[in-house]
Amino acid sequence: MGAMWDWITQHWNEPWARFVEGILLLLLSFVIASLARGALRKQLKRPHIDAQVALLISRIAYLAVVVLGVVAFFTLWFGSPALVFGGFGFLALAFSLAFQDILKNF
């Protein structure tokens, strides 16, 4: 066990090790998101809450946790959250320009 721990600590700052750590964190975020969605669905199964609203809230919570996991993954992989949020900004700009004609009709 000691030799394995020494090997891990020697290679901890290499890019592939950060990538593997990010993948594990991303998988953990999917598990946490699934647990949060299930817990919210269970809590929102009350007679005075509309089923569609409960479904919407549970899906939003799931997506929020997954997005946080993706941001954490890219932050570990690239080393800076500024690159991640800059990339999301470019993605949002491209998405808004692509769909502006479609959304103009509504």
Whole-number Å distance between alpha carbons of 91 and 97: 10
**Residue-range domain boundaries for the chain:** 13-80
pTM: 0.71
* pLDDT tens digits along 60-81: 999 999 999 998 898 888 888 8
Alpha-carbon distance 76 to 7, whole Å? Answer: 20
> Would the pLDDT of 1 be above 70?
no
- pLDDT level of residue 28 (50, 70, 90 thresholds): very high
3-state class (DSSP) for residue 5 = helix
